[in-house]
Structure 1
């Protein structure tokens, strides 16, 4: 039912040592990012750099770290992803759809259509080509949705799901795919930005196409707080209180997982922990403690869990599995890259009437990698956030993130593909894209793109 077995002293000591080494790798990633200029230009986060360093020093590289330690690291992502998802709906209120309809609906249409394309096309390629001709697993096509919009966090957390479904290689492949997607999203995103600048599509055109990247070590005057103290320290420490809220959300998720086991066997914990967070929010908002919830503190907890998750996940990648599946993985990545760029160019100027390039580029970065890459690309073209893109993108999050791009459907996708087959699930996803296209037409949100004047 619930994991209530005894954890012995030597196990706890081993766990602590493994976490300490991960912390050292993360710190090394910070030093490398600060010391090597090309890593900064590529916007590679310290967690990813530290994870790659761990893989280089592991059993498939210099063999400094033993396989037993790497195996311990491999268990962390499946646990930490629940900590990342649990606070998502705590302390938040859904925006009123009627007030933000014109701003949010194009963002939702673009996000859902693009995400469903990255589900449908890879699954159809997997079912029609990779499985029958190359012997790939029937869930092979699901790795794009899990690793591209989902990012390293979701990819790392989904490893146990693939293993439970009988595909042990899935976890390593989604992590490799997520790493490629991160670099692809940044590099190709900057290429698209320079193309948009030359074509006159940027509203805030600045001829230099500055990246808008802030210093790695932020000056004192520009530093933001990572959280506010909302309760007296005589009562409880601020971080401890918010950690307790996350813990309650995870516990509720565990109960939901147990209850759902009779209906949906193998349901992962992390999306249910997010629902648990919604339950916590509903209850606590009716009490005096509702005013004590600080979003920045919750985001700090999420950020900590995500950084450690990424280091552990990347450091524990099994390199031989990547090499063994190089051909089908390359085909899937290339096809997904073409789909993402093509959808950006096709749907962007047709769905967004205002600041189309800025609104489309933030979604491109999110589809190709993660939300942080999308926001980085947006800051590159709109450093002062003067366009509507940042507000529209933020408002769409409560209606999108719980569902796709690492949400509930993403979590269920491998199970659906294994149960009903990649062709069926992929066909349904593409049918969803077509229905959303028709909806955009009916709502008169699909328009003829306006040609931008060429810069002189």
Structure 2
């Protein structure tokens, strides 16, 4: 493998991604499905690549790119730090408290129910699967291709060679369930009158359908925080992400060779990036004011598109066929969990704008944040439900649970501590129900059609 091999691999990937974007922009049936261009490209890469027709000159190393890109994506999350404001937390405490409890409950159920189902039911049909099989559902559905690659790599380091391919398949199935299922539920909710900001599915903007933003609707991708005379702003932000990514890999190798401990590289990179975020310092005296979080988001999102492509294009079809029955059963259990969270627990734990908030959680519980954002923008294009605002405030509460699951989960599940792992997340789930009842964040008996929207702030105009 040479640098030119990498160049050809990414050139082929880029060609297919551009073709995917062209297909999205031109064909109505693709627009109606809202399939991302990178996912379309991934299917083309799978069909034309070495695992099927073998037409394109991909190298045999394309399966390794997803794991490397994952490190970069998690570094982007760390560099942006945590957005937590106690002042906002005190305002509208009931709405945000109920929403935070709902989001944490989603994690608890996705980390426990599929694993229980896998151990007690799927293993009867496929005795060869191990106790970690159920975690691939949560990694693929809740975490997306990036987390599936990271968790799959961790499982591979522990001796489970097919984990990454199965995780990528679960992630692909999750995105499809998120997009197609989300659109079905949006149409159902608009017919029932449960939506507040878009009453007709046909009102969706052309920008969302085609993926091409018209000039009058465009927004800035970021600001120049350093002078291009000294250093290009994009190079500056790119360096901020590559540093913890590379150092995370080196530090993890050092830890492994010195103490014999195995940690996911993406976790080390995330922690190093978070340390850089802290050292840069926020406020007037800090250096962090020269970091534009929007540029960091764009770099991380761009990497995610290539991650989705390589995650799908490198799937080994014989492995998927071999595990077709257990994998199909596992994904059905995952779909059942997220559907119950949307139409049963969603309205029970969200009072104002219950559907807008629940469909967003459904979206990122079946793929990535971008899927949730896409579904939300379909029915709440101006964030009047304050779903994104509340997510920014309560989002850090999820991070420790996710890091624990992705880092410690594979080790616990393969070392005989599977019921301990499941018990932790079941206890978290039960705790969420108890908290919701204690603080009266339980709206089970209130009719769905009579729920109000989130009230506008005084300085907020009705659009």
Q: TM-score, normalised by structure 1?
A: 0.90
Deviation at 1:160, TM superposition (A): 2.0
Match for residue 83 of structure 2 among 71, 89, 94: 94
Task: Note the residue ranges of structure 2 that are not aligned, 5 or more in a row.
Answer: 452-463
> How far apart are residue 400 of structure 1 and its match?
2.1
Aligned partner (choices 93, 101, 107) of residue 109 of structure 1: 101
Structure-1 residue corresponding to 2:248: 253
Is 2:147 aligned against 1:151? no
User: Which moved further from structure 2: 419-428 or 158-167?
Assistant: 419-428
Higher mean C-alpha displacement, 112-121 vs 393-402: 393-402
Contact 2:187 / 2:201 at 8 angstroms: preserved in 1? no
Q: Deviations over 1:403-440 (max 9, x none)?
A: 42xx4422432222112344442233222211221122
Which residue of the partner structure matches residue 19 of structure 2?
28
2:313 counterpart residue number = 315
Decide whether the 8 Å contact of 1:226 with 1:297 is kept in 2. yes
Secondary structure of 1:138's counterpart equals coil
Q: C-alpha separation between the residues in 1 aligned to 2:118 and 2:167?
A: 14
In structure 2, C-alpha distance between the alignment counterparts of 1:339 and 1:223, rounded to whole Å = 37
1:7 aligned partner? none
Assess, with a 3 A threshold, how the Cα gap between structure 1 residues 90 and 127 changes in structure 2: closer, same or farther.
same
Aligned residue pairs total 442
**Is the Cα–Cα contact under 8 Å of residues 165 and 315 in structure 2 kept in the other structure?**
yes
Instruction: Write the mapping of 1:137-176 to structure 2, written as runs, cut at 5 A.
Output: 137-176=130-169
Between the aligned partners of 1:346 and 1:271, the Cα distance in structure 2 is 34
Residue of 74, 80, 88 corresponding to 2:69? 80
Counterpart position of 2:203: 210
CA RMSD of aligned residues (A): 2.4
C-alpha change, 1:264 and 1:340, in structure 2 (3 Å) is farther
What do residues 306-361 of structure 1 show as CA deviations (whole Å, max 9, x unaligned)? 11111112111100100100100111111111121112222212211221111111
C-alpha displacement at 1:388, in angstroms? Answer: 2.5
Is the 1:362–1:374 Cα contact (8 Å) retained in structure 2? yes
Distance 1:190 1:13, change over 3 A: closer
1:272 is aligned to 268
1:312–1:284: structure 2 CA closer, same or farther, 3 Å change rule? same
Determine whether 1:14 maps to 2:12: no
Deviation of 1:18 after TM superposition, in Å, equals: 1.7
Q: TM-score, normalised by structure 2?
A: 0.88
Tell me by how many angstroms 1:451 deviates.
Answer: 0.7
Contact residue 130 and residue 414 of structure 2 kept, 8 A: no
Alignment of 1:390-409 (within 5 A): 390-401=388-399, 403-404=401-402, 407-409=403-405
Which stretch of structure 1 is more off in the superposition, 241-250 or 170-179? 241-250
Q: Which deviates the most, 113-122 or 88-97? A: 88-97
The verdict on how the C-alpha distance between 1:163 and 1:348 changes in structure 2, with shifts beyond 3 A counting, is same
| 3-state SS in 1 of match to 2:77 | coil
Partner of 1:221: 216
Q: Tell me the distance in 1 between the aligned counterparts of 2:334 and 2:180.
A: 15
Taking the TM superposition and a 5 Å limit, the aligned residue runs for 1:215-364 are 215-254=210-249, 257=252, 261=256, 265-285=261-281, 289-364=287-362
CA deviations on 1:163-201 (whole Å, 9 max, x unpaired) are: 112111111111111111111112222222222223332
Q: Alignment partner of 2:78: what SS?
A: coil
Deviates more, 1:204-213 or 1:225-234: 204-213
Q: In structure 1, how many angstroms separate the alpha carbons of the residues matched to 2:105 and 2:450?
A: 29
Tell me the SS of whatever aligns to 2:85: coil
Q: Which moved more, 1:32-41 or 1:253-262?
A: 253-262
Q: Go from structure 1 to structure 2 and tell me whether the alpha carbon gap of 1:24 and 1:402 turns closer, same or farther (over 3 Å shift).
A: farther
Alpha-carbon distance between aligned partners in 2 of 1:443 and 1:281, rounded to the nearest angstrom? 35
Contact 2:49/2:55, CA 8 A, preserved across alignment: yes
